[in-house]
Every structure is written in structure tokens, then in C-alpha cells.
Amino acid sequence: MDNIPDKTLEEAAASTKDMHLATSVHRINEMLTGVYPNPSNGPTMISFKLERQATVELSLYNMSAQLIYSTKVDKPAGAHTIYWDGKSNTGIDIYSGYYILKLTAGQASSTKKLVIVK
């Protein structure tokens, strides 16, 4: 004997119907609170709110999906603003155009469009 009770599929499913699983999904879509100014001619403020401490990664991509800028910062819970100077990772002013701003914290991420007009 293996001492494991035999159950039908229906009995096994019925025994789990009241189980609740806790999830830790960060709802970052509601936390990315602003990109100002947008359109911008360079320097931009990216505002967000965290429910708990997280390492936040901010990335900027051009429309060819090339990474133009990125930074990682550890932030406590609360409202925060990252000031981006309008320059690429190599220190060059970026060109006019459409860009995708991606904010990632833990397993969740959110994107917004950013327009640069020079």
C-alpha cells in the first residue's frame, strides 16, 4: 500500500475550489504616472509610483527597436521622478522622432510613446 488516498478527478477538483493563491504581480501600468513634456525637445521627466521597494529599469528605444538609453535605480515605495537629459547612453543628443519608453519593475513593465521634436 502506498498510503495515498484514491480520488476521482471530480473529487480532486472539488477539494481545490475554495483555495486562493496569493500573487505578487506588480500593477505597473497604473504606476507610470507621467511623461512630461511630451512632445519634448530633450530633457524629460518620467514619473511613477511604486507600492513597494523595487529596482526600476528605464529604457528608451527608437522605432527600429534599438536601445538608445537605459538606467537602473533602486527606489523605495512611493512616488518618484527620473529626470532624463535627452541624451543617448553615449552622451549624444537624440534625433527628432518617435520613441518607446519602457519602465520595468520586477516582473512587470509598462510602455509609453515619447515624441522628440528638435
pLDDT of residue 51: 87
pLDDT of residue 19: 46
Q: How many residues does the chain have?
A: 118
Task: Spell out the per-residue pLDDT of the chain, length 118, in tens.
Answer: 555 556 555 565 555 555 444 444 444 446 788 999 999 998 999 999 888 899 999 999 999 999 999 999 999 999 999 999 999 999 999 999 999 999 999 888 889 999 999 9
CA 110 – CA 118 distance, rounded (Å): 26
Q: Write phi, then psi, for 104 (nearest 5 degrees).
A: -125, 135
CA 98 – CA 116 distance, rounded (Å): 6
Handedness of CA 40, 43, 47, 50 (dihedral sign): positive
- pTM metric for this prediction: 0.72
pLDDT of residue 41: 94
List the one residue out of 104, 32, 24, 25 whose CA is nearest residue 72: 104
* Spatial CB neighbours of 84, under 8 Å, sequence gap ≥ 6: 43, 44, 45, 46, 58, 60, 69
> Residue ranges of the alpha helices (H) in the chain?
9-15
pLDDT of residue 61: 98
CATH 2.60.40.2550 holds for 27-116 = yes
SS3 state at 11 = helix
